[in-house]
Structure 1
Amino acid sequence: MKNKIGLVAVFVLLFGMSQAASAQDGSRKDQAVKAMTDTMQVHLSLNDDQYRKVYDINQQFLTKLGGIKQDGGGKLAKLQQLKAADKERDAALKPILTDEQFKQFQVDKKARREEMKENYKNRKG
């Protein structure tokens, strides 16, 4: 049961991020990418070179999420696509971040997922 809740939380988190990615106004997407990257810069102490590379990765990630949202298919198929996009992003970030930064990124991501789970529970209950 916990695994199902976790999957739902991941889906909700990534689907919410895809909302920002699928905004028709390109500036809204750019703002979402900048906000995501700025947050990572603060939490991970990115240098200028890392920031530019992470920005590009985040831009590709949000574009991909927007495409998944627009695609047809069931929730399970979309969830699998979202998880795959998340893994691709992690793989792209790993060589750019130091080991310590990547560990912190994973901790931050897990905390966001837990927060999403809690928000989901509060809305349901």
Structure 2
Amino acid sequence: MKTLKSKIAALVSFCFMMLMIQSASAQNMAQSLKDKTPEQRAQMQTNMMKAKLKLDSTQMLKVQGINLKYAQKLDPVIKGDGGKLSKFRQLKSIQKDKEKELKAVFTASQFKEYQQLQAEMKEKLKDYRSNN
């Protein structure tokens, strides 16, 4: 039987790790996120974005700040005891705000690539959910 924590962990992995290397499993991502501080999660995201989106140094600094800001906002949601639907709504709202800020930093092609990577991660999450 699926536990609430495993469902939340999968959801959180989607929100945080949209840019995760495709060979990593959703389960490993979720556990990795739970074990990291907001600062560590933000750094992981920034490194992934730098590699996948070929960020320049100016973009890198801005993205690093954005990732840290939103990792800190998401930390209480991840660690909180709220219901699944409540957490999902909070995560979705925070992610939407983050995307607005990232869009202002990325070029049009980088933002398109970012969205494609998000879509791929969403599919991985669906696969993970259906297999567990």
Give the TM-score category using the shorter length. Answer: 0.7 to 0.9
Match of 1:56 in 2: 65
- Secondary structure of the residue aligned to 2:104 is coil
The alignment's TM-score, normalised by the length of structure 2, stands at 0.72
Match of 1:38 in 2: 47
Shift of 1:30: 2.7
Match of 1:3 in 2: none
Q: How many residues align?
A: 112
Match of 1:5 in 2: none
CA distance in 1, matches of 2:34, 2:57: 24
Match of 1:20 in 2: 33
Q: Which runs of 5+ in 2 are unaligned?
A: 1-7, 17-28
Match of 2:83 in 1: 74
CA distance in 2, matches of 1:107, 1:52: 23
Counterpart code for 2:33: A
Label 1:70 to 1:31 Cα distance change in 2 as closer, same or farther (>3 A). Answer: closer
CA distance in 2, matches of 1:76, 1:30: 26
CA distance in 2, matches of 1:120, 1:53: 33
Q: Is the 8 A contact 2:33 2:41 kept in 1?
A: yes
Counterpart code for 2:129: Y
CA distance in 1, matches of 2:99, 2:10: 15
CA distance in 1, matches of 2:93, 2:101: 12
Q: Which runs of 5+ in 1 are unaligned?
A: 1-7
Match of 1:90 in 2: 99
Residue deviations 1:8-64, cap 9 Å, x none?
8983523876x73784xxxx4333221211111111110001011101111111111
Identify the structure with the greater helix proportion.
1
- Secondary structure of the residue aligned to 1:46 is coil
Shift of 1:91: 0.4
RMSD across aligned C-alpha pairs, in angstroms? 2.7
Q: Is the 8 A contact 1:36 1:58 kept in 2?
A: yes
CA distance in 1, matches of 2:106, 2:80: 31
Match of 1:101 in 2: 110
Label 1:21 to 1:64 Cα distance change in 2 as closer, same or farther (>3 A). Answer: farther
Identity score, percent: 31
The alignment's TM-score, normalised by the length of structure 1, stands at 0.75
